[in-house]
A and B are shown apart, each in its own frame.
Chain A
């Protein structure tokens, strides 16, 4: 039976990044879904997604920080861990106040092995990264 390390949601407006990360992590044994905006991330969380979120910072309309604020405002922070995946290696001060909810920060271009290892590592912080919270 193939490994299943849990659910990952890739949130990035860049299709190349979404495809690259989804392919990489699917091959590594994760169950991966990808969306192109913070709004769609919120929508999936509302439907009960549980697992690791790899969240881009710079996106049109709702950026990564606004997305986290919306997650907190809607009380959707349970059952997830958030890693920022970003081209910006000098984090925006908009992160102040959200530090507790961003467990790690990976700068693009990222190292594939590092991304896989950190995804496995932080998956273990999530109580049930395999199941939709609404099905629990």
Chain B
């Protein structure tokens, strides 16, 4: 299964609208960890659902992860993943001052045969997601940070970039293209010898070789 985890905070909801607007139905699972006040989980989910024909739901405990779906982390709960397939909600202490924390979700992903992982960090204050992105990179996932120049608040993507393990630094439009390429490609392996040859996308490419 192809799984994309997007971590996002202040400034993120407006950016996600541009990334997911008319997003095609693809055989991938997208997990959105957006820092929000509790009352906004429902309207945020409704906003995302209005953008795409993908199945959009608020993630619940024991819910199985399936393709063609976008899962929204609930405010007030860390969103943990077992065996890359099942969600668990946790009321453990806040991490980086937030719950859900992007790091908590990303760090529960496992390297599993047949699974391909992409991690993305958008606008936000602090360094939530940096450790998770570093980890996803270590287990072979593709990591993307929003270009800080396009980010209302730069520190979250900047912290991820400073780990040295971000493959791409991209604008929201370019992130959308990468997600679609990822979802539509036959396979993806970081460190593969072939390079992405899509010259229409101008981006900072820190990868050593990638098929997208």
B residues contacting A by CB (< 8 A) are: 9-11, 13-14, 17, 35-37, 39-40, 43-44, 47, 75, 94, 96-98, 124-126, 152-153, 155
Contacts and interface: CB of A to CB of B under 8 A. Distances in A.
A97 B97 CA distance: 4
A59 interface: no
A130 interface: no
B47 A96 contact: no
B125 A96 contact: yes
- For the complex of A and B, 8 pairs with smallest distance between CB atoms: A97-B97, A125-B43, A105-B152, A100-B35, A95-B125, A102-B10, A99-B35, A99-B9
B11 A125 contact: no
Interface in A75-112: 77-79, 81, 84, 91, 93, 95-107
Contact of B98 (A78, A99, A104, A105): A99
A124 B35 contact: no
Nearest to A125: B43
Nearest to A90: B154
A81 B13 CA distance: 12
Contacts of B17: 121
Given A105-B10, A105-B11, 13 more contacts: A91-B125, A91-B153, A96-B97, A97-B94, A97-B97, A98-B97, A99-B10, A100-B9, A100-B35, A105-B153, A106-B152, A122-B14, A125-B40
Contacts of A84: 10
A99 B13 contact: no
A118 interface: yes
B11 A100 contact: no
A118 B10 CA distance: 13
Interface string A64-82: 0000000000000111010
